[in-house]
Amino acid sequence: MAGSSVHGDRPAGSQTDFTTVTELLARPRLAHLYTELLKRDEWTATRSLSETSVFSQSTVYDDLHSLRQTALVEVREEGRERHYRAEPFKVGIITAGEPQLTTIIPTIIAVIGQQVADDDISQFVEEYGVERLINVVAYVKPYIDGRMTERLAARELDLPTIVGTTILIALEDTVREMREIDPFFDDLRDATEDDGRQPSQEIQFDDNTRVVFEPEDTDESE
């Protein structure tokens, strides 16, 4: 994801490395490990971390080495032990040709990392790309809150219904979990709040028909 503009924020007040964030977006394995670290506050042993991972201890060690070079993982030496701690962050990216600001937070990184654990997500990215996956997350939030149906989300995402339904379900648990972990979760884009619009309402008319009621445009000049 190439950005023409970027700004960052971390609780500790240090500048988030934009290159690091884009690397996490491009490398699902690193994104997965970052998320595992963030979930568990602090780790002291590579072996214990690998036991919760889908990768071998040597792979986890190599990825930890990569993350140690970034601003997103802090390492504290205590005797012969190393304590690893992931820091949450918020980075806004405006991609080339896109006027809309995309906010990247740990929830987005967790979704990217799920490619290594969920075939439905990895296949979606293979076919539609990472940017489309990030866009789907904006629909997962209202979906899990019961404010948007699978069918409506798929239609607004311009995806086949089966594809839209599958990816929403695949991401649901991850987004629910990150809601309790990610301090920036409230900054996650919500598709029903884009441009201040109200969500469409969809009802089942009969066994074969769904009816969608779009909110009417109001003319403030009247």
For residues 33 and 118, membership in a common domain is answered with no
* Mean pLDDT taken over the chain: 77
Whether residue 115 is found in the same domain as residue 42: no
With 90 as the cut, is the pLDDT of residue 139 above it?
A: yes
Question: Per the structure block, which two tokens stand in for 144?
Answer: 């899990």
Q: pLDDT tens for residues 65-82?
A: 788 777 788 888 777 777
Residue range of the domain that includes 36: 3-86
Between these two residues, 70 and 87, which has the higher pLDDT value? 87
Region of 146 please: left (phi>0), alpha (psi -120 to 50) or beta: left
d(CA 101, CA 182): 19
Residue 53 resides in a domain:
yes
Domain count, the chain: 2
% of the chain at pLDDT higher than 90? 42
Instruction: Identify whether 99 is part of a domain.
Output: no
| Mean pLDDT value of segment 82-105 | 77
